[in-house]
Structure 1
Amino acid sequence: MRRNVRVAAYAVCVRDGRILLARWTGAGGPRRWTLPGGGMEHGEDPYGTVVREVEEETGYQVEPVALLGVESARRVIPRRGWRRSAVDHQAVRVMYEVRITGGELRSEVDGSTDLAAWHKLSSVGLLTRVPYVDTALRLWRDRPPTGRAMGSP
C-alpha cells in the first residue's frame, strides 16, 4: 500500500462572534465548510502557507497571532481501477489563530473552494463541515498548552 503525508496550515479567524470559513468543493463529493488554508508547497513554512492560502481563498491578508495546535489524522483512501492500490494517507494540520490586516472578502476562482463567508459561532454546528473545523474551534476556545484538542486520538 502506498503511503502519503500531507502537511497543511489552516486559519482560525474569529471576529465579532463569527468565524471565517470557506466552502470546499471536494473531489466530486458534497461541498463542506472548512477553515481557510491548505497544503504546504515544497520549501514553504507553515506560517507562510496559512498567509498565502487565506488570501487565495478569501481575499483577506492576515497575520498569524498564535499557534493553536497541530492535528494529525490518518485514513486509508481506496483506489479503483487497474494497477491502482489504496493509499495510507496521513494529514498533519497546523492551526493558527489569525487576524485580518487588509483585503476584502471575496471567493476563490478556479480553486478548491468556491465561497468564503462569515458564520456565527453559535450556528457552526448546523453547517455541513469538515471535522477539523470542530477541532480548531476546541483549540481556539480551550488553548491547551500541548496544542492538542481534548478528544483527539
Structure 2
Amino acid sequence: MRRKLRVAAYAVCVRDGQILLARSPAPDGTPEWVLPGGGMEHGEDPYDTVRREVTEETGYRIEVTGLLGVDSHRLLGDPRVGRRVDHQGLRIVYEGEITGGELRYEVGGSTDLAAWHHLDTVPGLVRVPMVDIALRLWRERPLHGHLEDVPVPRQVNEE
C-alpha cells in the first residue's frame, strides 16, 4: 500500500460574527465550502503557508493571532485513485485577523469563490468536515490543541 502524508495549514478568520470561507469543487464536482489554507510546500514554515494560502484564496492579508490546534485524519484505500493508498492529512489550524487586502476570488487555483458567512448559517452550508473541526477548536480552545471526541476517520476499503 502506498503511503502519502500531506501537511497543510488553515486559518479561522472571524469578524463581526462571520467566518471567512472559500469554495472548492469536491471530487464529484459539487461545490463545497472550505477554510482558506492549503498544503505546505517543501521547506516552507506552516506559519508562512497559512498567510500565503489565505492571500491566494481570498485576497486578504492576515496576521496570525494564535495556534488553535492540530488535526490529523487518515483515509485508507481511496477508490477514487484506482489503487490502495494510506493517506494521512496533518492539518495545522491557526486563528487569523485580516490586516489588509481586499476580498477577491482565486483564479486558476483550488478555489473559485471567497465569502463571509454568518456563524449561525455555517451548519446549513455544504462544507468539508474540517470547517466544523476548526470552528470547534476556535470555540473550545483546548489547551493541548486537540479535540478528544472527533469521530474516527472513515475507512474506505477497496475490493
Give TM-score, length-normalised by structure 2.
Answer: 0.90
What SS class does the counterpart of residue 52 from structure 1 fall into? helix
Cα shift at 1:136 = 0.4
C-alpha distance in 1, partners of 2:67/2:56? 21
- Alpha-carbon contact 1:12-1:136 (below 8 Å) kept: yes
What per-residue deviation string (whole Å, max 9, x for no partner) do you get for residues 72-91 of structure 1? 000021232xxxx2211000
Q: Percent identity?
A: 64
Look up the match of 1:147.
145
Please report the RMSD computed on the Cα atoms of aligned residues, expressed in angstroms: 1.0
Cα shift at 1:28 = 4.2
1:98 aligns to 2:92 (yes or no): no
What SS class does the counterpart of residue 22 from structure 1 fall into? strand
Look up the match of 2:25.
25
**In structure 1, what residue type is equivalent to 2:5?**
V
Give TM-score, length-normalised by structure 1.
Answer: 0.94
Look up the match of 2:60.
60
Cα shift at 1:31 = 1.2
Gaps of 5+ in 1: none
Cα shift at 1:16 = 0.1
What per-residue deviation string (whole Å, max 9, x for no partner) do you get for residues 42-63 of structure 1? 0000000000000000000001
C-alpha distance in 2, partners of 1:142/1:149? 9
Look up the match of 2:72.
72
1:15 aligns to 2:15 (yes or no): yes
Look up the match of 2:4.
4
